[in-house]
Protein backbone atom coordinates (compact mmCIF):
# COMPACT_ATOMS: atom_id res chain seq x y z
CA UNK A 1 0.00 0.00 0.00
CA UNK A 2 1.20 3.54 -0.72
CA UNK A 3 0.61 6.30 1.83
CA UNK A 4 1.02 10.05 1.61
CA UNK A 5 1.39 11.96 4.87
CA UNK A 6 1.42 15.69 5.46
CA UNK A 7 3.69 16.39 8.43
CA UNK A 8 5.19 12.88 8.14
CA UNK A 9 8.53 14.37 9.21
CA UNK A 10 7.24 15.37 12.67
CA UNK A 11 7.12 13.64 16.06
CA UNK A 12 4.02 11.52 15.33
CA UNK A 13 4.78 11.38 11.60
CA UNK A 14 8.21 9.78 12.12
CA UNK A 15 6.68 7.08 14.34
CA UNK A 16 3.95 6.45 11.74
CA UNK A 17 6.44 6.34 8.84
CA UNK A 18 8.65 3.78 10.69
CA UNK A 19 5.63 1.63 11.48
CA UNK A 20 4.33 1.74 7.89
CA UNK A 21 7.74 0.91 6.42
CA UNK A 22 8.16 -1.99 8.88
CA UNK A 23 4.83 -3.30 7.60
CA UNK A 24 6.13 -3.08 4.03
CA UNK A 25 4.19 -0.01 2.91
CA UNK A 26 5.57 2.88 0.86
CA UNK A 27 5.34 6.41 2.24
CA UNK A 28 5.53 9.81 0.53
CA UNK A 29 5.93 12.68 3.00
CA UNK A 30 4.43 16.06 2.17
CA UNK A 31 6.63 18.76 3.67
CA UNK A 32 7.70 22.39 3.45
CA UNK A 33 11.21 21.10 2.66
CA UNK A 34 12.09 19.03 -0.41
CA UNK A 35 14.06 15.81 0.14
CA UNK A 36 14.24 12.09 -0.64
CA UNK A 37 10.82 10.43 -0.30
CA UNK A 38 9.19 13.86 0.00
CA UNK A 39 7.13 16.23 -2.06
CA UNK A 40 6.49 19.85 -1.10
CA UNK A 41 3.10 21.45 -0.52
CA UNK A 42 3.57 23.55 -3.68
CA UNK A 43 4.37 20.40 -5.71
CA UNK A 44 1.20 18.85 -4.31
CA UNK A 45 -0.77 21.92 -5.45
CA UNK A 46 0.74 22.00 -8.92
CA UNK A 47 1.12 18.27 -9.70
CA UNK A 48 -1.78 16.82 -7.67
CA UNK A 49 -1.83 13.97 -5.17
CA UNK A 50 0.63 11.15 -5.98
CA UNK A 51 -1.22 7.84 -6.47
CA UNK A 52 -1.81 6.39 -2.99
CA UNK A 53 -4.28 4.23 -1.09
CA UNK A 54 -4.37 6.39 2.03
CA UNK A 55 -3.65 10.01 2.89
CA UNK A 56 -2.95 11.23 6.43
CA UNK A 57 -2.47 14.80 7.67
CA UNK A 58 -0.23 15.37 10.70
CA UNK A 59 1.08 18.81 9.76
CA UNK A 60 0.84 21.71 12.18
CA UNK A 61 2.96 24.32 13.92
CA UNK A 62 3.87 22.99 17.39
CA UNK A 63 1.41 24.31 20.02
CA UNK A 64 4.01 23.98 22.81
CA UNK A 65 6.98 25.56 21.01
CA UNK A 66 9.05 26.83 23.99
CA UNK A 67 10.97 29.17 21.70
CA UNK A 68 7.93 31.14 20.60
CA UNK A 69 6.16 33.83 22.58
CA UNK A 70 2.35 33.48 22.64
CA UNK A 71 1.13 36.30 20.38
CA UNK A 72 -1.14 36.95 17.38
CA UNK A 73 1.52 35.82 14.90
CA UNK A 74 1.97 32.49 16.66
CA UNK A 75 -1.81 31.97 16.81
CA UNK A 76 -2.05 32.78 13.09
CA UNK A 77 0.63 30.16 12.34
CA UNK A 78 -1.12 27.56 14.54
CA UNK A 79 -4.28 28.03 12.49
CA UNK A 80 -2.82 28.47 9.00
CA UNK A 81 -0.38 25.53 9.29
CA UNK A 82 -3.34 23.22 9.99
CA UNK A 83 -6.13 24.83 7.95
CA UNK A 84 -4.05 25.45 4.81
CA UNK A 85 -2.40 21.99 4.71
CA UNK A 86 -5.73 20.26 5.37
CA UNK A 87 -7.50 22.38 2.72
CA UNK A 88 -4.74 21.61 0.20
CA UNK A 89 -4.94 17.85 0.88
CA UNK A 90 -8.75 17.74 0.77
CA UNK A 91 -8.74 19.67 -2.54
CA UNK A 92 -6.06 17.35 -3.94
CA UNK A 93 -8.22 14.33 -3.02
CA UNK A 94 -11.25 15.93 -4.71
CA UNK A 95 -9.22 16.66 -7.86
CA UNK A 96 -7.56 13.24 -7.99
CA UNK A 97 -8.60 10.89 -10.83
CA UNK A 98 -7.82 7.98 -8.44
CA UNK A 99 -8.63 9.25 -4.97
CA UNK A 100 -7.27 7.32 -1.95
CA UNK A 101 -9.58 4.84 -0.21
CA UNK A 102 -8.99 6.51 3.15
CA UNK A 103 -8.37 10.08 4.32
CA UNK A 104 -7.23 10.43 7.92
CA UNK A 105 -7.13 13.81 9.61
CA UNK A 106 -5.47 13.97 13.03
CA UNK A 107 -6.82 16.85 15.17
CA UNK A 108 -7.17 16.93 18.98
CA UNK A 109 -9.38 16.57 22.06
CA UNK A 110 -9.49 20.37 22.54
CA UNK A 111 -12.99 20.28 21.01
CA UNK A 112 -14.37 18.85 24.30
CA UNK A 113 -14.92 21.45 27.05
CA UNK A 114 -12.53 20.91 30.00
CA UNK A 115 -14.36 19.58 33.05
CA UNK A 116 -13.57 17.71 36.26
CA UNK A 117 -16.71 15.60 35.98
CA UNK A 118 -17.96 15.26 32.37
CA UNK A 119 -16.85 12.24 30.34
CA UNK A 120 -16.61 12.50 26.58
CA UNK A 121 -16.74 9.87 23.86
CA UNK A 122 -16.68 10.24 20.08
CA UNK A 123 -20.48 10.59 20.20
CA UNK A 124 -20.42 13.65 22.50
CA UNK A 125 -21.95 16.76 20.96
CA UNK A 126 -19.76 19.87 21.05
CA UNK A 127 -19.66 23.43 19.80
CA UNK A 128 -16.61 25.72 19.85
CA UNK A 129 -16.12 27.64 23.11
CA UNK A 130 -12.47 28.85 23.10
CA UNK A 131 -9.52 29.39 20.76
CA UNK A 132 -8.38 25.76 20.53
CA UNK A 133 -11.90 24.35 20.11
CA UNK A 134 -12.47 26.91 17.33
CA UNK A 135 -9.27 25.65 15.73
CA UNK A 136 -10.47 22.03 15.83
CA UNK A 137 -13.88 23.08 14.45
CA UNK A 138 -12.38 24.95 11.49
CA UNK A 139 -9.72 22.27 10.88
CA UNK A 140 -12.19 19.37 10.80
CA UNK A 141 -14.52 21.53 8.67
CA UNK A 142 -12.01 22.16 5.87
CA UNK A 143 -11.05 18.46 5.89
CA UNK A 144 -14.59 17.41 5.08
CA UNK A 145 -14.98 15.95 1.57
CA UNK A 146 -17.99 16.64 -0.63
CA UNK A 147 -20.55 13.81 -0.46
CA UNK A 148 -19.86 12.58 -3.98
CA UNK A 149 -16.12 12.16 -3.23
CA UNK A 150 -16.86 10.63 0.18
CA UNK A 151 -18.57 7.72 -1.58
CA UNK A 152 -15.13 6.51 -2.68
CA UNK A 153 -12.91 7.87 0.07
CA UNK A 154 -13.60 6.96 3.68
CA UNK A 155 -13.11 9.95 6.00
CA UNK A 156 -11.55 9.41 9.41
CA UNK A 157 -10.79 11.90 12.16
CA UNK A 158 -8.50 10.92 15.03
CA UNK A 159 -8.49 13.19 18.10
CA UNK A 160 -5.39 12.52 20.23
CA UNK A 161 -4.75 13.63 23.79
CA UNK A 162 -1.24 14.71 24.84
CA UNK A 163 1.10 12.44 22.87
CA UNK A 164 3.79 10.85 25.06
CA UNK A 165 7.06 9.65 23.54
CA UNK A 166 10.77 10.05 24.06
CA UNK A 167 11.56 12.02 20.91
CA UNK A 168 9.12 14.89 20.92
CA UNK A 169 5.97 16.47 22.24
CA UNK A 170 5.38 17.19 25.92
CA UNK A 171 7.79 14.55 27.33
CA UNK A 172 10.76 16.08 25.60
CA UNK A 173 10.20 19.26 27.61
CA UNK A 174 9.16 17.60 30.88
CA UNK A 175 11.80 14.91 31.31
CA UNK A 176 14.68 17.22 32.24
CA UNK A 177 12.93 19.19 35.04
CA UNK A 178 11.45 15.96 36.43
CA UNK A 179 14.82 14.23 36.19
CA UNK A 180 16.41 17.11 38.11
CA UNK A 181 13.76 16.73 40.84
CA UNK A 182 11.86 19.91 39.95
CA UNK A 183 8.73 18.11 38.80
CA UNK A 184 5.35 18.77 40.35
CA UNK A 185 1.64 18.93 39.74
CA UNK A 186 0.30 21.70 37.51
CA UNK A 187 -2.42 23.85 39.04
CA UNK A 188 -4.71 21.79 41.30
CA UNK A 189 -3.54 18.50 39.75
CA UNK A 190 -7.16 17.31 39.78
CA UNK A 191 -7.69 18.16 36.09
CA UNK A 192 -7.95 15.18 33.74
CA UNK A 193 -4.85 14.50 31.66
CA UNK A 194 -5.88 12.76 28.43
CA UNK A 195 -2.78 11.09 26.95
CA UNK A 196 -1.61 8.43 24.50
CA UNK A 197 1.74 6.77 23.81
CA UNK A 198 3.06 7.83 20.41
CA UNK A 199 3.45 4.22 19.33
CA UNK A 200 -0.25 3.51 20.06
CA UNK A 201 -1.30 6.65 18.16
CA UNK A 202 0.67 5.50 15.08
CA UNK A 203 -0.96 2.07 15.44
CA UNK A 204 -4.47 3.57 15.71
CA UNK A 205 -3.86 5.47 12.47
CA UNK A 206 -2.82 2.29 10.62
CA UNK A 207 -5.56 0.24 12.34
CA UNK A 208 -8.30 2.59 11.08
CA UNK A 209 -6.83 2.44 7.56
CA UNK A 210 -6.34 -1.33 7.49
CA UNK A 211 -9.87 -1.95 8.75
CA UNK A 212 -11.44 0.37 6.20
CA UNK A 213 -13.06 -2.47 4.27
CA UNK A 214 -15.28 -3.23 7.28
CA UNK A 215 -16.93 0.16 7.11
CA UNK A 216 -19.02 1.69 4.40
CA UNK A 217 -18.03 5.13 3.22
CA UNK A 218 -20.21 7.83 4.62
CA UNK A 219 -20.73 11.54 4.11
CA UNK A 220 -19.83 12.09 7.77
CA UNK A 221 -16.27 11.37 8.95
CA UNK A 222 -15.85 8.59 11.47
CA UNK A 223 -14.22 9.90 14.66
CA UNK A 224 -11.81 7.95 16.89
CA UNK A 225 -10.52 9.40 20.14
CA UNK A 226 -6.76 8.83 20.24
CA UNK A 227 -6.35 8.49 23.99
CA UNK A 228 -5.36 5.68 26.33
CA UNK A 229 -8.33 4.07 28.10
CA UNK A 230 -6.82 4.70 31.57
CA UNK A 231 -8.25 8.25 32.08
CA UNK A 232 -5.75 9.79 34.51
CA UNK A 233 -5.47 13.15 36.25
CA UNK A 234 -2.47 15.47 36.19
CA UNK A 235 -1.74 14.37 39.79
CA UNK A 236 -1.59 10.70 38.77
CA UNK A 237 0.62 11.51 35.79
CA UNK A 238 3.00 13.59 37.94
CA UNK A 239 3.32 10.95 40.67
CA UNK A 240 3.80 8.09 38.19
CA UNK A 241 6.50 9.97 36.27
CA UNK A 242 8.28 10.72 39.57
CA UNK A 243 8.00 7.06 40.60
CA UNK A 244 9.37 5.76 37.29
CA UNK A 245 12.25 8.30 37.39
CA UNK A 246 12.76 7.73 41.15
CA UNK A 247 12.58 11.48 41.74
CA UNK A 248 10.52 13.58 44.16
CA UNK A 249 7.68 15.63 42.64
CA UNK A 250 7.11 18.17 45.38
CA UNK A 251 7.18 21.44 43.43
CA UNK A 252 3.64 22.30 42.36
CA UNK A 253 3.42 24.94 39.63
CA UNK A 254 0.52 27.33 40.32
CA UNK A 255 -1.98 27.73 37.48
CA UNK A 256 -1.48 31.51 37.25
CA UNK A 257 2.26 31.02 36.65
CA UNK A 258 1.59 28.62 33.77
CA UNK A 259 -1.00 31.06 32.36
CA UNK A 260 1.46 33.95 32.58
CA UNK A 261 4.36 32.06 31.00
CA UNK A 262 2.43 30.26 28.28
CA UNK A 263 -0.61 32.42 27.67
CA UNK A 264 -3.87 31.20 29.17
CA UNK A 265 -5.38 30.26 25.78
CA UNK A 266 -2.90 27.44 25.28
CA UNK A 267 -2.13 26.78 28.96
CA UNK A 268 -5.61 25.20 29.15
CA UNK A 269 -4.17 21.96 27.77
CA UNK A 270 -2.05 21.68 30.94
CA UNK A 271 -4.06 23.49 33.63
CA UNK A 272 -7.42 22.05 32.57
CA UNK A 273 -8.31 18.82 30.85
CA UNK A 274 -11.02 16.55 29.56
CA UNK A 275 -11.96 13.02 30.59
CA UNK A 276 -11.94 11.40 27.15
CA UNK A 277 -12.99 7.83 26.52
CA UNK A 278 -11.71 6.00 23.41
CA UNK A 279 -15.11 4.32 22.97
CA UNK A 280 -15.11 3.76 19.22
CA UNK A 281 -11.38 3.00 19.20
CA UNK A 282 -11.95 0.13 21.65
CA UNK A 283 -15.11 -1.03 19.85
CA UNK A 284 -13.09 -1.24 16.62
CA UNK A 285 -11.00 -3.96 18.29
CA UNK A 286 -7.86 -1.86 18.70
CA UNK A 287 -5.44 -3.33 21.26
CA UNK A 288 -3.28 -0.85 23.16
CA UNK A 289 0.36 -1.65 23.74
CA UNK A 290 0.48 1.01 26.48
CA UNK A 291 -2.99 1.18 28.06
CA UNK A 292 -1.77 2.56 31.40
CA UNK A 293 0.66 5.28 32.51
CA UNK A 294 3.02 2.89 34.22
CA UNK A 295 3.79 0.89 31.04
CA UNK A 296 3.89 4.00 28.82
CA UNK A 297 6.23 5.99 31.09
CA UNK A 298 8.50 2.99 31.75
CA UNK A 299 8.99 2.53 28.00
CA UNK A 300 9.78 6.23 27.55
CA UNK A 301 12.16 6.54 30.50
CA UNK A 302 13.96 3.23 30.17
CA UNK A 303 14.50 3.33 26.41
P1 LIG B 1 5.13 18.35 15.10
O2 LIG B 1 5.28 19.56 15.96
O3 LIG B 1 6.19 17.33 15.15
O4 LIG B 1 4.91 18.89 13.61
C5 LIG B 1 4.51 18.06 12.56
C6 LIG B 1 4.96 18.61 11.23
O7 LIG B 1 4.18 19.74 10.86
C8 LIG B 1 6.37 19.11 11.19
O9 LIG B 1 7.28 18.05 11.05
C10 LIG B 1 6.37 20.05 9.98
O11 LIG B 1 6.68 19.34 8.79
C12 LIG B 1 4.91 20.51 9.92
N13 LIG B 1 4.83 21.93 10.29
C14 LIG B 1 5.30 22.51 11.44
N15 LIG B 1 5.07 23.82 11.43
C16 LIG B 1 4.45 24.09 10.25
C17 LIG B 1 3.98 25.28 9.63
N18 LIG B 1 4.09 26.46 10.24
N19 LIG B 1 3.39 25.17 8.41
C20 LIG B 1 3.28 23.97 7.78
N21 LIG B 1 3.72 22.82 8.30
C22 LIG B 1 4.29 22.87 9.53
O23 LIG B 1 3.68 17.71 15.40
P24 LIG B 1 3.30 16.33 16.14
O25 LIG B 1 3.87 15.22 15.35
O26 LIG B 1 3.57 16.45 17.59
O27 LIG B 1 1.71 16.35 15.97
C28 LIG B 1 1.08 15.95 14.75
C29 LIG B 1 -0.34 16.47 14.71
O30 LIG B 1 -1.06 15.94 15.82
C31 LIG B 1 -0.43 18.00 14.81
O32 LIG B 1 -1.43 18.49 13.94
C33 LIG B 1 -0.84 18.24 16.24
O34 LIG B 1 -1.66 19.39 16.37
C35 LIG B 1 -1.66 16.99 16.55
N36 LIG B 1 -1.62 16.68 17.98
C37 LIG B 1 -0.42 16.52 18.60
C38 LIG B 1 -0.35 16.32 19.97
C39 LIG B 1 0.96 16.15 20.68
O40 LIG B 1 0.94 16.01 21.93
N41 LIG B 1 2.08 16.09 19.99
C42 LIG B 1 -1.60 16.27 20.78
C43 LIG B 1 -2.81 16.39 20.01
C44 LIG B 1 -2.80 16.62 18.67
P45 LIG B 1 7.76 19.90 7.70
O46 LIG B 1 8.85 20.56 8.49
O47 LIG B 1 8.20 18.66 7.02
O48 LIG B 1 7.01 20.84 6.83
**What digits encode the pLDDT tens for the residues 166-193?**
999 999 989 999 999 999 999 999 999 9
If you write DSSP's letter for every residue of 13-37 in order, what string do you get? HHHHHHHHHHTT-EEEEEESS--TT
| CA 204 distance to own-chain centroid | 11
Q: What is the mean pLDDT of residues 197-218?
A: 86
- Residue/partner pairs of 244-248 with CB below 8 Å, 24 or more apart: 244/294, 244/297, 244/298, 244/301, 245/175, 245/178, 245/179, 245/183, 245/301, 247/178, 247/179, 247/180, 247/181, 247/183, 248/181, 248/183
The rounded distance, in Å, linking the Cα atoms of 98 and 19 is 25
DSSP at 114? P
Q: Is 78 in contact with 63 (CB distance < 8 Å)?
A: yes
The pairing of strands 119-120 and 102-106 is unpaired
Q: Distances from the Cα of 154 to the Cαs of 97, 123, 166, in angstroms?
A: 16, 18, 32
| pLDDT above 60 for 215 | no
For residue 59, which atom of ligand 1 is closest to its CA? Answer: 7
Q: Is 229 in contact with 282 (CB distance < 8 Å)?
A: yes
**What digits encode the pLDDT tens for the residues 112-126?**
999 999 999 999 999
CA of 62 to the centre of ligand 1 (A): 5
What pLDDT sits at residue 60? 98
HSE-up (13 A, CA, CB side) for residue 17: 19
What pLDDT sits at residue 254? 95
CATH architecture for the domain at 2-302: 3-Layer(aba) Sandwich (3.40)
What pLDDT sits at residue 212? 67
For residue 32, which atom of ligand 1 is closest to its CA? Answer: 48
Ligand 1, atom 16, residue with closest C-alpha: 61
The rounded distance, in Å, linking the Cα atoms of 204 and 223 is 12
Q: Which protein residues touch ligand 1 with a CB less than 6 Å away?
A: 7, 9-13, 31-33, 58-62, 77, 81-82, 85, 106, 108, 160, 162-163, 168-170
Q: Has this prediction a pTM greater than 0.90?
A: yes
Ligand 1, atom 44, residue with closest C-alpha: 108
ipTM above 0.95, yes or no: yes
**What digits encode the pLDDT tens for the residues 28-80?**
999 999 999 999 999 999 999 999 999 999 999 999 988 889 999 999 999 99
Strand, helix or coil for residue 155: strand
Amino acid sequence: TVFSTGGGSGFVGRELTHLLKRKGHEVTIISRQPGPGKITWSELKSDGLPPCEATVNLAGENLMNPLRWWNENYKKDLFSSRIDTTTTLAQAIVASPNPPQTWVLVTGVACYRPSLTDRYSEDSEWTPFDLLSKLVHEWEGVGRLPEIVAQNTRQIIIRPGVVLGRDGGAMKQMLTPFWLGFGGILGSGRQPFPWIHVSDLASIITHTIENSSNNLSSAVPQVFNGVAPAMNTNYEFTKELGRVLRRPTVFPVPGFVIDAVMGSERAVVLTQGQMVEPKRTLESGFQYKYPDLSSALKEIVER
